[in-house]
Amino acid sequence: MNLISIVLALLCIPLMFLGFIPLLGWVNWLILPGTVVGAIIGAFGEKKTGLILNIIVFVVGALRLSIGGGLV
């Protein structure tokens, strides 16, 4: 379970960095559901590495959306 969670986080990280480019902030709307699913899956694993990684990506993506006015 932890491996699946880490893979989901690693798929969302490049998209998160892509969302920092002006006019591409909408990409963060795509990573938020992925990180939530990854965090839920990571919560069931023995090691919490995937859970922590997904939470970090979620917080950074949500922060980027709130700064850019995309999170209501």
**Cα separation of 16 and 2, whole Å?**
21
Q: Is the pLDDT of residue 72 over 70?
A: no
Between 6 and 67, where is the model more confident?
A: 6
Residue with tokens 């917080």: 59
29-70 pLDDT per residue, tens:
999 999 999 999 999 988 999 999 999 999 999 998 888 766
Is the full-model pTM beyond 0.75? Answer: yes
